[in-house]
């Protein structure tokens, strides 16, 4: 059996620098498309220290997301593993993955998130008061990062104090800078700085978990107070803790990363696309103003209001199609695999990239056109082609959480402010999409009823 076409390049480094450079000049999508054009549906390369096979298309997505667990595992690159820890969901397989994920879902499923819509509403209002009111210009992405981090701190970690949140945020931001880096541990590397920040974040989190344990023992906290107390309270059939301390720690690290950068990018790029598409903006505004009119002044949004935001969510889906926060990801071949007539050797990484189907004109005609109507009939979207949240048993467990926070944030922003774009229209990937000047908007408050 032969290896896929392509070159592994220089050992360890391979094509990592080329891909990272392309992403930083916003040609990452072009870089993977070019590779697909040159080598076809499967090719080999070296990414982030490991030999890798890049596969793409609907069938490839199905193979990656629904693959047989004995063939493909969800291993991250060694830098991600070293920074986030080896017992987070991305690293766990089979029964361990199911056990921890089930515990997660008992907090993140829609039926339990329903009750937190009002709390998210409070965080968004407070954010606008602190960071938008009285301003003429705002840089959206950094603000949305603050907002989504605060929402996570409040709902998932139960950290309410501003000073404590800020301490977390500072170390956390340094930690994520080296997540997609070549794992070289020298004093000046991004990777090394991230590792040091990761150990600081872990010590802070250990302290937080310990405090929550004590509160639970003293019955001063309830199991559903936040995600951490929920994970601490989960019991198996033998009445033992279902999730270990280490798993709780490593998964909080994961949630900080997975749930903060992603949603902030979605909200930011929605605002960007709304300002470039006036008809879509008008339709969103009308939907949101109708909802605002049906509420009393100051009354928080509720679960039922979100059900009326159908058009706004289609706009979010179209934003996720065109600018997916997660560029792609990795799996690990657990054994030699025959794929498309080639060998994927045991121990190699498998790399997927969402833009390959999101921008495929056969699946999404005129893919460069921003058209939320594509999602009017979601059944018309072929399976394994719209994958901003991944798919299969590892589909993003935070997708409902992200939907709620996005809709609540957009509701308040479009009903309270009008805006125009001041920065140019460029963005890069680092590896998340970052617009020029963080998306600088000139804003003006609307008259409140």
Give contact residues for ligand HEM (rule: CB under 6 A).
74, 89-90, 101, 254-255, 258-259, 262-263, 266, 325-326, 329, 388-390, 394, 396-398, 401-402
CA 129, CA 150: separation in Å to the nearest integer?
14
Task: Select 409 or 443, whichever has its Cβ closest to ligand HEM.
Answer: 409
Task: Select 127 or 292, whichever has its Cβ closest to ligand HEM.
Answer: 127
User: Phi-psi bin for 132: left (phi > 0), alpha (psi -120 to 50), beta?
Assistant: alpha
Task: Select 255 or 284, whichever has its Cβ closest to ligand HEM.
Answer: 255
Minimal distance, residue 103 CB to ligand HEM, in Å = 12
Cβ atoms within 10 Å, residue 308: 14
Minimal distance, residue 146 CB to ligand HEM, in Å = 15
Q: Write the CA distances from 294 to 186, 310, 350, 403, 449, integer angstroms.
A: 58, 16, 50, 21, 12
Residue 396 assigned to a binding site = yes
Cis peptide before 225 (omega within 30 of 0): no
Structure tokens at 285: 């505004």
DSSP 241: B
Task: Select 101 or 193, whichever has its Cβ closest to ligand HEM.
Answer: 101
Calculated CA dihedral for residues 314, 315, 316, 322, nearest 10 degrees? 110
Determine the distance from the C-alpha atom of residue 167 to the mean position of all C-alpha atoms in its chain, rounded to a whole number: 22
Minimal distance, residue 264 CB to ligand HEM, in Å = 9
Cβ atoms within 10 Å, residue 430: 13
Enumerate residues 6+ apart whose C-beta is below 8 A from 70: 334, 335
Minimal distance, residue 392 CB to ligand HEM, in Å = 8
Minimal distance, residue 34 CB to ligand HEM, in Å = 23
CA 76, CA 64: separation in Å to the nearest integer?
13
Task: Select 101 or 167, whichever has its Cβ closest to ligand HEM.
Answer: 101
Sign of CA dihedral 255, 257, 262, 267: positive
Task: Select 228 or 292, whichever has its Cβ closest to ligand HEM.
Answer: 228
The closest of 134, 149, 102 to 255, measured between CA atoms, is 149
CA 222, CA 257: separation in Å to the nearest integer?
25
- The residue whose Cβ lies closest to ligand HEM is 398
Minimal distance, residue 398 CB to ligand HEM, in Å = 2
Minimal distance, residue 168 CB to ligand HEM, in Å = 15
Task: Select 109 or 335, whichever has its Cβ closest to ligand HEM.
Answer: 109
Structure tokens at 6: 């392509």
Minimal distance, residue 250 CB to ligand HEM, in Å = 11
Task: Select 14 or 398, whichever has its Cβ closest to ligand HEM.
Answer: 398
Q: Write the CA distances from 80 to 62, 154, 391, integer angstroms.
A: 24, 25, 20
Structure tokens at 288: 């949101």
Numbered residues of the known binding site for heme? 396
Binding residues: 396
């Amino acid at each position: 059996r032969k290896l896929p076409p392509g070159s592994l390049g220089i050992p360890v480094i391979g094509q990592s620098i080329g891909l990272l450079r392309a992403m930083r000049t916003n040609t990452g999508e072009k870089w993977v498309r070019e590779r697909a054009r040159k080598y076809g549906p499967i090719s080999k390369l070296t990414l982030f220290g490991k030999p890798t096979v890049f596969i793409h298309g609907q069938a490839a997505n199905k193979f990656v997301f629904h693959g047989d667990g004995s063939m493909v595992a969800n291993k991250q690159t060694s830098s991600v593993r070293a920074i986030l820890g080896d017992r987070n969901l991305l690293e766990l397989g089979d029964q361990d993955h199911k056990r921890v994920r089930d515990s997660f879902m008992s907090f993140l499923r829609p039926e339990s998130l329903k009750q937190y819509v009002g709390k998210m509403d409070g965080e968004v209002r407070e954010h606008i008061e602190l960071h938008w009111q009285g301003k003429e210009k705002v840089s959206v992405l950094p603000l949305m990062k603050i907002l989504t981090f605060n929402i996570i701190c409040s709902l998932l970690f139960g950290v309410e104090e501003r000073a404590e949140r800020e301490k977390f945020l500072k170390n956390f931001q340094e930690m994520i800078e080296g997540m997609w880096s070549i794992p070289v541990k020298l004093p000046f590397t991004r990777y090394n700085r991230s590792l040091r920040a990761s150990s600081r974040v872990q010590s802070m989190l250990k302290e937080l978990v310990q405090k929550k344990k004590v509160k639970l023992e003293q019955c001063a906290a309830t199991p559903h107070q936040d995600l951490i107390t929920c994970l601490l309270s989960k019991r198996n059939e033998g009445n033992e803790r279902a999730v270990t301390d280490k798993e709780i720690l490593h998964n909080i690290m994961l949630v900080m990363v997975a749930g903060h950068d992603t949603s902030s990018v979605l909200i930011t790029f929605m605002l960007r696309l709304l300002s470039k598409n006036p008809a879509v903006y008008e339709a969103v505004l009308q939907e949101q103003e109708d909802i605002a009119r049906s509420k009393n002044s100051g009354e928080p949004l509720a679960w039922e209001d979100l059900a009326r935001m159908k058009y706004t969510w289609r706009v979010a889906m179209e934003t996720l199609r065109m600018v997916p926060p997660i560029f792609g990801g990795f799996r690990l071949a657990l054994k030699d695999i025959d794929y498309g007539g080639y060998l994927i050797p045991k121990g190699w990484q498998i790399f997927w990239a969402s833009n390959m189907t999101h921008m495929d004109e056969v699946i999404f005609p005129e893919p460069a056109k921003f058209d939320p109507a594509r999602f009017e009939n979601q059944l018309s979207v072929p399976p394994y082609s719209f994958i901003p949240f991944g798919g299969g048993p590892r589909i993003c467990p935070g997708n409902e959480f992200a939907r709620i926070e996005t809709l609540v944030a957009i509701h308040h922003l479009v009903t309270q402010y009008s805006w125009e774009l001041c920065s140019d229209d460029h963005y890069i990937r680092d590896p998340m999409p970052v617009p020029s000047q963080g998306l600088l908007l000139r804003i003006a408050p609307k008259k409140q009823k």
